[in-house]
Structure 1
Amino acid sequence: MALIVVIDDDEAIRTLIAAALRFEGYEVAEADNGSAGLALVRGNAPDLVISDVNMPVMDGFAMLQALRADPAIQATPVILLTSLQERAHVRTGMTSGADDYLTKPLVFEELLEATATQLNRQLMRQTVQEQAVDAAIGQALREQEKKLGRLYEKKMLAELADKWPSAETLIEDQRFSSASVLFVDVVNFPALAEKLSSTELSEVVREFYKNAGDTLYLFGVFHMQFVGEGLLAVFVGSTDTDTVNHGLRATRAALGLIDAAQRVQAFLLSHFPGRSLPRFEICVGLNSGAVTLAKLEDPLWGSAQVLPVGDSVSTTLQLQKQATLAGWKIAASANLLREVAGAVKTGRRKRFSLPGRSGAVDGTEVLGIAP
């Protein structure tokens, strides 16, 4: 029987959550603040923690930080609860090590589904550890090799940068040996431009990119900028997160952008009824690898802009174009899929020949987050 620790200073909500979980057959321990909840976790080693964010004595973020810092319990999955209005809290939770979040007021079907998902993942991890010790050791060795490769790549980039001719227009570059790149573009933008006036089209574009920007910010985007009618985003790792890597955050953001596009389609129908407009559809490309954020200074105005460069960036842009032709909504490279390590549901696979590249790139259709 799985043990779940529920932490919430609101006794009524805490009691309802505990009752719903017990009805499903789970064992539940309760605490009314983060400090008391952390003590329960340390003393009982539960299978899952469900915690509110805003609490006295110790809030949910402080509890999560202390939990992740304790080697004995740092692998415990955590679901955070927050209100819909606390968007910044949601982003902080996702980038600080939370495995999932739910918004209040709670929908108990969603709570039970999220609970089952986290417990199933935990059970799968335990099964792998118990039945495949050799595989786990091999994975650890591969991870070590990967880290050494990143260190070597970072050192190589630094050495190349030192040898590269200096230029007044290139200052304070930021180099990431491992990052995830997302590029989203409106598939049928020319068709919409033909049917709408420039003023109407600007309304639609603003509606989408407002939603897109909110979604990317929610999942901890490090840098984003417009590229034509598209939007390019870079996600990087953070020193304070162990369970939510940049690849998974980029994938979740891509799925959120698909939802945002559906909201824009509803906006089109409500604001331009009877116009027989083409559907508002987008396509997203995802890739992982080394990225450099080059800072370029404008010699005329003295301002600076940031330009993401590198093979990972150009591959993402080209992968998105090929995915559009294939009729996919989200395409991920093999490099990106290695970052998410089976945490997503996938569909079709295809080897794409990208212009200017000597070899093909493996692309996979992303359908959602794996249960």
Structure 2
Amino acid sequence: MAMIVAIDDDETIRALIAAALRFEGYEVMEAEDGAAGLALVRDYRPDLVVSDVNMPVMDGFSMLQTLRADPSIQATPVILLTSLQEREHMRSGMSSGADDYLTKPLVFDELRDAVATQLNKHLMRQTAQAQAVGTAIDAALQEQKKRLSRLYEEKLLAELSEKWPSADSLVEDQKFANATVLFVDVVNFPALAEKLSSTELSEVVREFYNNAGDTVYLFGAYHMQFVGEGLLAVFVDSTDTDTVNNGLRATKAALGLITSAQRVQGFLASHFPGRSLPRFEVSVGLNSGAVTLAKLQDALRGKSQILPVGDTVSASMLLQKEANKAGWKIAASATLLREVAGAVKIGRRKRFSLPERSSALDGIELLGLAS
């Protein structure tokens, strides 16, 4: 029987979590704050920790950092619980070593699935560690710290817009020698537009981009903007994301966007039954290389905007189109693949003769993260 430590300062919520987990057959120990929970982890060595973030005495982030710094318990998987208002802190928490996070109010089916997933991963890690020695164990633990979990929550893009760097705050063009560009577009948008009214279509678009914008933000995008029905995001290395390189964060964001599209398909099925609508699907292009964020001044209105420019940007948008033609969900360049080698599962390879380019571009189909 797996043992789980549930940490939450709200006694009612903690009791509900414990009851739900015990109903699934797990042994559960409860703690009212991070310090008490950490003591239980050290004394009883549970298989999993489910912890709130905002707590007195020791919050969830401090508990997580202390746990990961202790070699005797650092491999313990941790699921963080947070409210919507705290989500801007989640990227740093996940980069510090959280295995997954869920948002309050909790959906207990999601809690059950997340717990089962982490326990299965933990069992697989224990089996692998039992067969390895020395540096192999250290490498596995380091990899665990860098893993970011898949995202579950739907969020509001309008509220997130305030979080992006302001164009007015940039004095000059920003140049990045190594960045990753992600471009995602709705595959069959014209077909949906033909079947839905403008009001209905706006509901569908909003449903997707509420998910898409937050997914891109939480994986640490530096810049994001809409291009027609598409979304373009630029990922760069920075001080608060230095535990995971920009290529891997962009890849995980791309996989999250595919999941977001699947949720929108469920939204279509439930809100427009019997309409014989085309499936809601997206395709993504990923490319790494030099990118410039050009600051464009609007002399008439006295405002400025940021425009990502460079061959890296153009190639990512062209890769997205070729991914759609090839029936791939995600197409990545060979340059991007070198950034994430060993961390992803790949499928087909193809040399794309892209229009408007003098040379072909090697494309690789990304299927998911390596186990």
Q: TM-score, normalised by structure 1?
A: 0.70
The CA distance in 1 between the partners of 2:243 and 2:128, in whole Å, is 15
The amino acid that maps onto 1:80 is I
The CA distance in 1 between the partners of 2:50 and 2:289, in whole Å, is 34
SS of alignment partner, residue 172 of structure 1: coil
1:115 deviation in Å?
Answer: 3.1
1:49 and 1:79 in contact (8 A); partners too: yes
The CA distance in 2 between the partners of 1:172 and 1:295, in whole Å, is 6
Q: 1:191 to 1:13 in 2, by over 3 A?
A: closer
* CA deviations over 1:230-274 (Å, ceiling 9, x no partner): 110122334234544433332332222223223333443444444
Q: 1:244 to 1:315 in 2, by over 3 A?
A: same
Selected match of 2:121 from 111, 117, 124: 117
2:349 and 2:362 in contact (8 A); partners too: no
**1:58-77 map, 5 Å:** 58-65=58-65, 70=69, 76=75
**1:1-371 map, 5 Å:** 7-9=7-9, 12=15, 32-36=32-36, 50-65=50-65, 70=69, 76=75, 78-83=77-82, 85=84, 88=87, 90-103=90-103, 104=106, 106=108, 107-118=111-122, 120-121=124-125, 130=134, 171-241=171-241, 243-355=243-355, 356-366=357-367, 368-371=368-371
* CA deviations over 1:12-36 (Å, ceiling 9, x no partner): 4786799799969xxx998653345
The amino acid that maps onto 1:190 is P
The CA distance in 2 between the partners of 1:18 and 1:188, in whole Å, is 41
The CA distance in 2 between the partners of 1:258 and 1:129, in whole Å, is 37
The CA distance in 1 between the partners of 2:353 and 2:233, in whole Å, is 23
SS of alignment partner, residue 239 of structure 2: coil
Q: 1:34 to 1:296 in 2, by over 3 A?
A: same
2:54 and 2:82 in contact (8 A); partners too: no
The CA distance in 1 between the partners of 2:61 and 2:237, in whole Å, is 19
The amino acid that maps onto 1:52 is D
The CA distance in 1 between the partners of 2:232 and 2:37, in whole Å, is 40
The amino acid that maps onto 2:52 is D
1:344 and 1:369 in contact (8 A); partners too: yes
The amino acid that maps onto 1:117 is K
The CA distance in 2 between the partners of 1:293 and 1:74, in whole Å, is 43
- Aligned-pair identity in percent equals 64
The CA distance in 2 between the partners of 1:42 and 1:113, in whole Å, is 23
The CA distance in 1 between the partners of 2:66 and 2:337, in whole Å, is 30
1:39 deviation in Å?
Answer: 6.8
Q: 1:42 to 1:174 in 2, by over 3 A?
A: farther
How many pairs align? 331
Task: Provide the alpha-carbon RMSD of the alignment.
Answer: 4.0
Which ranges of structure 2 fall in alignment gaps of 5 or more residues? 140-169
SS of alignment partner, residue 172 of structure 2: strand
SS of alignment partner, residue 280 of structure 1: coil
1:222 deviation in Å?
Answer: 2.1
The CA distance in 1 between the partners of 2:297 and 2:50, in whole Å, is 47
1:179 and 1:246 in contact (8 A); partners too: yes
Which ranges of structure 1 fall in alignment gaps of 5 or more residues? 137-169
The amino acid that maps onto 2:323 is A
1:182 and 1:234 in contact (8 A); partners too: yes
2:99 and 2:118 in contact (8 A); partners too: no
The CA distance in 1 between the partners of 2:49 and 2:350, in whole Å, is 39
The amino acid that maps onto 1:364 is E
Q: 1:35 to 1:246 in 2, by over 3 A?
A: farther
Q: 1:52 to 1:296 in 2, by over 3 A?
A: same
1:206 deviation in Å?
Answer: 2.8
Q: 1:122 to 1:250 in 2, by over 3 A?
A: farther
Q: 1:56 to 1:84 in 2, by over 3 A?
A: closer
Which residue does 1:165 correspond to in 2?
none
The CA distance in 1 between the partners of 2:333 and 2:255, in whole Å, is 16
Q: 1:20 to 1:267 in 2, by over 3 A?
A: closer
Q: 1:217 to 1:35 in 2, by over 3 A?
A: same
